[in-house]
Structures are given as C-alpha cells and as structure tokens.
Amino acid sequence: MAESSDGPRGIPRGPLMSPGFWLHHAALEWRATLERNLRPLGLTPTQFNLLASAGWLGRQGELPTQQQVADMSGADRMMASKVIRVLEERELLARRADPVDARVLRIEITTAGRELVGKGVQIAVDTDAQMFGPAGEQLREQLKPIAAHRIPD
C-alpha cells in the first residue's frame, strides 16, 4: 500500500514518508554490518568507537578523560565506563588518575590497542564504502550539520 505525502496541513502521513524513519533503519543496518565486519577482531561497534575515540583524542595533545572519550564516541557515561573496563582488561587501553584531580580518569591507548584500532578503522572505512558507495561523501556532508550539536568541540 503506497503512502500519501499530503496529509492534513501538508504533514507527511505514515512512517515511509519520514526521512527520520529511513535514517533510523539505515543506521541500524550500518551498525549490524559494522558489527559483523568487526567480529574477527573481537570488537563490538561500541568497543571500537570508544577505542578509536581514545586513540584519536590522545593524538590531539594530553591524554583524554574518560568523559571526553565517551562524548566523542556517543556512549553514555555508564556504558562507556563498563566497556572501557573491558578494554582495559584486554590491555588495549589504560586508565590513569588525573595528576590534578584524582576523580578524573585519563585514558591512554596501548600499543596493542593502537594496532587493533588501526585494523578496525580500515574495516569501518571499508564498511562505509560497502554501504554507501560513492554517495558516502555527499551523505556525510548532509548528516554533519544535523549531528554537529552532539559532537564535542
């Protein structure tokens, strides 16, 4: 059954007319594909995002805080803490108390973590190419202003 785009007052009718509906389902498919592709590395998408965020932020200067890593990856504080603990147990990163404020944890990616995240980044790039093809660059530019308020400065 086709959905009409001209509901009352010009409001789209039905979920199939909503860009948000399609974005949501596209994101679910992208995540499922990334999860399958990362599986040989023993990483989930959340683990990969936190590890990659720690590595990226660590290259910017001082070691990032656990909260900065969580914010960059889009993970909530509790989830990030649990997953970072697992990554620490796997010796892919280390948590250290901040020298000024012992309540703040700084995250340092290990050599093994850097090697693994390098492989994961290539998988993520390949997954993007697989899912989005040549339209990926244009799609990124369309999504950036929508998501920009969530990305830490």
Q: Tell me the pLDDT band of 7, cut-offs 50, 70 and 90.
A: low
Which domains are present in the chain? 29-150 (1.10.10.10)
Q: Are 107 and 69 in contact (CB under 8 A)?
A: yes
Note the maximum CA span of the chain: 63
* pLDDT value, residue 18: 85
Residues 54-68 pLDDT 10s: 999 998 888 999 999
- Which has the higher per-residue pLDDT, 17 or 104? 104
Distance (Å, whole) CA 115 – CA 140: 26
User: Which DSSP category does 51 fall into?
Assistant: H
Orientation angle between helical segments 45-58 and 77-89, nearest 10 degrees? 90
Q: What is the mean pLDDT of residues 1-27?
A: 73
Short-list 87, 66, 65, 93, CA closest to 77? 66
In this prediction the pTM is 0.84
